[in-house]
Amino acid sequence: MINKCCKCGKKIRWSSKLGSLMKGYAPIICNACNQEYTFSIWSRLLIAPLIPLPILLNIIFHDNMFEIFGKYSLLFYILYIITITLLVPFIARYEIVNAQGK
Ligand SMILES: [Zn+2]
């Protein structure tokens, strides 16, 4: 992950990264110099399966997993999604968008 803009050295806010994720991997733009950053391909590949993971596990283990949580399974899943979403800005990698490459 990037903490500082590598062009101007200004700190990139965690909320900017989260906002980018919420918009479906939208580019992060440095507030100071407008340098753009995008999620690297492997970050997308890593993050994408995390969201439906509990559902996939549930299918694999034939509904046994969610029986542990019973009626709280939906609540558990919502909490899981929130946790993943909050953690993603810490695990994701970003790449500089080359302005000349556009
Ligand atoms: Zn910058």
Which has more pLDDT, 67 or 54?
A: 54
Return the H-helix or E-strand segment holding 28.
Answer: strand 28-29
The arithmetic mean of pLDDT across residues 65-79, rounded, is 75
Instruction: Give residue 38 CA to ligand 1 midpoint distance, Å.
Output: 14
pTM above 0.75, yes or no: no
Between CA 33 and CA 80 the distance in angstroms is 35
Q: Tell me, in angstroms, the distance from the centre of ligand 1 to residue 37's CA.
A: 10
3 state DSSP class of 102:
coil
Distance 1 CA to ligand 1 centre (A): 15
- Give me the pLDDT at residue 102, please: 46
Q: Please check whether residue 39 is in contact with residue 91, taking contact to mean a CB–CB distance below 8 angstroms.
A: no
Across residues 66-75, what is the average pLDDT?
Answer: 72
